[in-house]
Structure 1
Amino acid sequence: MKIPLRYSIRNLMRRKVRTLLTLFAVVLVVAVSVVMFAFAGGLLNSARNSGSPDNIIVIDRKAANQTFSKISKTDYNLLKGLPQIRKNALGEPLISPETLQDTRVSVGEHENRPGVVRGVSEKLFEVNTLLRMVEGEPPSPGRNLVVGSLTHTALGVPRESLVVGNEIVISNDTWKIVGRFDASGTAMDSEILMDLNDSMAVFVRDSYSSALIKLEHEGEMPTLIQSLNSRNDIQVKAVAEREYYRDLAEGFERIILLAVFLAVIATIGGLVSGMNTMYASVLGRIREIGTLKTLGYPPKDIVQSFVLESTTLALMGGAIGMALAWQANGISTKFNKGAFSINVDEWALLAGLVVALVIGIFGALFPAIKGARMKIPEALHYS
């Protein structure tokens, strides 16, 4: 004799206080689990997804990264002549000389905030196709700069303080914000872009930090990289742009692993807590299990009924928890000198669904089996 499905559903409504308390516990656990996985996912995406597949970065052969690199104008002119470089409609080579500078930025009453400033030419937006202006105009000579979509988070200032038309202070000079750009969730989203010549003047430089090159054919990349890295007339190191940013991400590997580890620990802790709540809820109904056995229902059907009821409740809580966690999608958070956005993607939501299912199934399974195995008199007098 099967236990009617309506029995399980009706039980959820009959024990309102217990149902609501259990539901709240599941909602909390699932929401926290999803947000923690989304945090780790956003950090990984920002670190690993930067760069275009047909771009290479050229830096000083002795430098570890762009920040400490120096490429002379003579070397840059030699790079411009490479036949593998793609040309635009005007026949100009798509190569972008850049400077990269760690500096201090003051925004209103928020003074001396650590920030990253990149000096660029007009070619940048042709070479870096992940970059696009979303408001205003590109950086131009005369102390006119643009900010990224996450620059406010990286600087720790309100978003409204970096709107187009406002002014900020860099190296004791006042600069006007003339535009805002989006870098498709990559590391550049937290930077400030200014005119290349302005950056060289304000930071007293006579060389570039790097050159970003777009190739005509992606398949030529390995040969060109090998050629540049072995030349003696030009002391540079070439690397695929995506590989460059992946290597930078390895420098933060321990921090990223820590974030993932914390996400797993938080999930396990929440899982145990949620299962305990569900376990206690079912354990308090041992007498009900004894009554069902008295009425002739087999132990297997009783266990299935309780697991179904528990799983239904857990999925309801999971859906609410995932909906709450979704509100965190896109929220930016500061990391090192940059920033990234929390990414509530399908994997984070899948993790939340798994957590809800585990709580629902295993939280009810063991106490239900325990009650079903008891003799009827023992179950009826259980307390």
Structure 2
Amino acid sequence: MGVIVFRYFFDIHLSLPIPPNVGFFVKLGNETSIISTTMRQGDKIFSFTRDTYEWLCPPQNVEKNDSLSNIEIIKLEAVRDRESIPIRYIRKFKDRDSYSGGIIEPTNYSIFNVHLNIDNIRSLQNKEIYNKFLKLSEDMLEHFIRLYQWVSQEKDVYLPNISDCPIVEVLVSENGDINSGILNQTFKFHSTKLNWDNLTKKPVKKTPLSKEAMNWFSNLLKSGKELELYQKLLLDAKEQGHLNRKYDLAILKIGTAFEVFVQDRLLRACELKGIKKLPGKGKNAKEKDYKEAIINGNVREELLSIYLKEITGISIKGTKAYNEWYTNAYSIRNEIIHRGKTDVNDKDAEVAFNSTVKLIFEIEKKLSQAEIKLN
């Protein structure tokens, strides 16, 4: 029996009043671990320059070296508990513009140590076994941070992408287990895992917008119109998937965006046509106020199946766009909400997004053909 430790760092600060050598016993499903954390101080650095970092030299060097006297340092401070605390340094060359140097922000960051029992340290040579423990450590740490967020309600603590930690240090101890405590064990370095997958997915070069897209963009800017709520929600969903890799949450937000779109179009169509009442669901159902019916109606069974045709004369159910949306977006969203489905990936989120946008365009097209102008 031995212990393997995965050591992560993230720029979040947990206010846990415990010594650094004390850990929390954590249970997740049938698995257990001990997680300890320490806070350290560092700096976030952003450079406006590439290949030259003269502006980054220590402040004392600026004062002593005449060749560096052209560097201006602007210090921004915040007053906390009657004490001035530096929160940002802006450095630039006095005879150049504001983007000739860079920005330094003092920050607190946390080291997280996830301790797991392992039957045989040598088994880590097997890639499949190693990855199993790595994934378990990520799940444990995400669970730990999520529970801390829920208990503390601290606004500055976010859930990082655990698998994106740039450097993961792996330590091992060949004696004991987590149940006998971690203080009496001697850990030795095993390996370092470097992560750059998220960097390789960023495009080095982007294809310029087409002429048609440029005209569309230019016309939108000139129109003075803001994006509608459903459009903003779709963009949020895209960020949730692409940036945060929370594909289940992205699909939920895609569903919300579509529901907002359909409700908005139906409400505006009712107002345009002077419709005040809508039929209830079922043969003997009483009529309802149109706003109540649309806002409380099920998006598939009532809004699309009954009210869209009742209000606008448009039938969308059974079309290719509708069927793709139902299969690729609506059904998966329901599985996430009602069955706790979490095994969704980037392809699932992408297909759900595209299917939903396709149905939105189809509805807008049919509204236009029916000469129901809602914009």
- Relative to the length of structure 1, the TM-score reads 0.23
Q: Choose between structure 1 and 2 for higher RCO, CA contacts under 8 A separated by at least 6 residues.
A: 1
The structure whose residues are more often helix, as a share, is 1
